[in-house]
């Protein structure tokens, strides 16, 4: 599996304060200049060295000879009437990824990608249709949050707002890019000041990755994408994934015990496929006794994918059946319906 390439100019986004202090010293500057770099990169979102006004011009010149801040280029920007912003970003090697900013009354959330494309190949996901290109670096993941902050600041709908919640729920399987994802989590928490409790890792059920994450001492939320409570149906929806439900639930329970964090299970409702009363009862049985919450996710239709969204009456019935069996559940509102809302849809349309 490939990773982000080394480029002629090294990216500073992706380095923590201590590493940036090392860069400053290597270039003949006092170490505290690294603290100033971190402030400009992560807190102020500076996209070029010329904006870093309290750094000596000589230092900025030395930086420019070897380094780049590491910001991506916005290829396409879509704004929804509900305030949602979707960006298609191009990295230094031309790899393109999507990120989404979601403003709510009580928070500003960003959904980031961890891979350019995705190797998992869920049958209902647009990302898999375009194949897998490579893993993203920690800096390329964090850059997406910075890009959404910039878009929020420029939007008449969301002025002066910055991201305070991040979900690793965009293109790619985060736990297949483990080291970069964990570093990005630490950068978001320690450098950008976003509470670790406001960071969510969504996985299709990478058992080894879940167990490894449980030992990181990062109080992030684990969200497991189930989409079916029956192994046969799940294999149809996620044909390339080897772990069965018993293995996934067991690993999730280990995460719960190790971290004390309530589990989240995601379930994308597909009309006539996994939204029937029997499906709800199977899911309630599977999750019985777990300290968990279920997110029912509306399906965003995609060209060349045959699935359809569940009717609202089916969503309500599914939700009520889970609630009647003691399962905490939320039916997520559809956001960005007037733009290319489905993950991978904008990238594929651009291609």
In this predicted structure, what is the pLDDT of residue 3?
A: 47
Whether residue 260 contacts residue 217, with contact meaning beta carbons closer than 8 Å, is answered with no
Give me the catalytic one of 110, 111, 268, 343. 343
In this predicted structure, what is the pLDDT of residue 350?
A: 54
Cβ-based neighbour number of residue 314 at 10 Å: 17
The residues spanned by each domain of the chain are 10-68, 73-350
Q: Is 28 flagged in the annotation as binding?
A: no
In this predicted structure, what is the pLDDT of residue 1?
A: 42
State the burial class of residue 218 (Cβ atoms within 10 Å of its Cβ: 0-12, 13-18, 19+): middle
State the burial class of residue 115 (Cβ atoms within 10 Å of its Cβ: 0-12, 13-18, 19+): buried
Q: Is 118 flagged in the annotation as binding?
A: yes
Q: Is 19 a catalytic residue?
A: no
Phi-psi map region of 86: left, alpha, beta (phi>0 left; psi -120 to 50 alpha): beta
Q: Is 98 a catalytic residue?
A: yes
CATH of domain 10-68: 1.10.150.530
In this predicted structure, what is the pLDDT of residue 223?
A: 98
Extract the residue ranges of the chain whose pLDDT is less than 70: 1-8, 155-160, 334-351
Whether residue 263 contacts residue 224, with contact meaning beta carbons closer than 8 Å, is answered with yes
DSSP string, 132-165: EEEEPPHHHHHHHHHHHHHHHHH-SSSTT----E
Q: Is 58 flagged in the annotation as binding?
A: no
Phi-psi map region of 87: left, alpha, beta (phi>0 left; psi -120 to 50 alpha): beta
DSSP H or E segment with residue 179: helix 178-186
215-220 contacts: CB < 8 A, separation 24 or more?
215/258, 216/182, 218/182, 218/185, 218/186, 218/189, 219/259, 219/260, 219/261, 220/185, 220/196, 220/261
Rg of the chain over all Cα atoms, to the nearest angstrom = 21
Q: Is 300 flagged in the annotation as binding?
A: yes
Distance CA 319, CA 301 (A): 21
CATH of domain 73-350: 3.20.20.70
Q: Is 225 flagged in the annotation as binding?
A: yes
Q: Is 202 flagged in the annotation as binding?
A: yes
In this predicted structure, what is the pLDDT of residue 121?
A: 87
Give me the catalytic one of 39, 90, 98, 154. 98
In this predicted structure, what is the pLDDT of residue 303?
A: 78
């Amino acid at each position: 599996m490939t990773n982000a390439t080394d480029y002629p100019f090294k990216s500073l986004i992706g380095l923590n304060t201590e590493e940036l202090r090392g860069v400053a010293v290597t270039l003949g500057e006092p170490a505290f200049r690294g603290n100033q770099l971190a402030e400009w990169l992560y807190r102020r979102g500076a996209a070029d060295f010329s904006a870093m006004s309290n750094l000596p011009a000589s230092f900025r010149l030395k930086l420019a000879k070897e380094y780049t801040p590491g910001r991506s280029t916005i290829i396409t920007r879509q704004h929804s009437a509900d305030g949602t912003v979707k960006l298609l970003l191009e990295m230094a090697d031309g790899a393109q990824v999507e990120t989404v900013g979601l403003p709510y009354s009580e928070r500003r959330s960003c959904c980031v990608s961890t891979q350019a494309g995705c190797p998992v190949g869920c049958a209902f996901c647009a990302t898999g249709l375009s194949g897998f290109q490579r893993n993203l670096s920690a800096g390329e993941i964090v850059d997406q949050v910075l890009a959404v902050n910039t878009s929020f600041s420029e939007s008449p709908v969301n002025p002066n707002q910055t991201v305070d919640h991040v979900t690793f729920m965009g293109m790619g399987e985060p736990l297949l890019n483990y080291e970069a994802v964990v570093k990005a989590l630490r950068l978001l928490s320690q450098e950008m000041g976003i509470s670790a409790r406001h960071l969510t890792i969504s996985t299709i059920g990478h058992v080894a990755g879940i167990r490894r994450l449980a030992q990181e001492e990062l109080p992030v939320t684990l969200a497991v994408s189930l989409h079916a409570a029956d192994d046969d149906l799940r294999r149809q929806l996620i044909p390339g994934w080897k772990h069965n439900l018993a293995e996934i639930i067991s690993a999730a329970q280990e995460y719960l015990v190790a971290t004390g964090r309530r589990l989240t299970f995601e379930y994308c409702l597909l009309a006539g496929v996994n939204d029937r009363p029997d499906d709800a009862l199977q899911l309630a049985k599977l999750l019985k006794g777990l300290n968990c919450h279920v997110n029912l996710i509306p399906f965003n239709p995609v060209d060349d994918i045959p699935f359809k969204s569940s009717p609202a009456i089916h969503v309500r019935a599914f939700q009520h059946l889970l609630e009647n069996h003691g399962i905490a559940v939320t039916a997520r509102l559809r956001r960005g319906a007037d733009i290319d809302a489905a993950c991978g849809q904008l990238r594929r349309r651009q291609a």
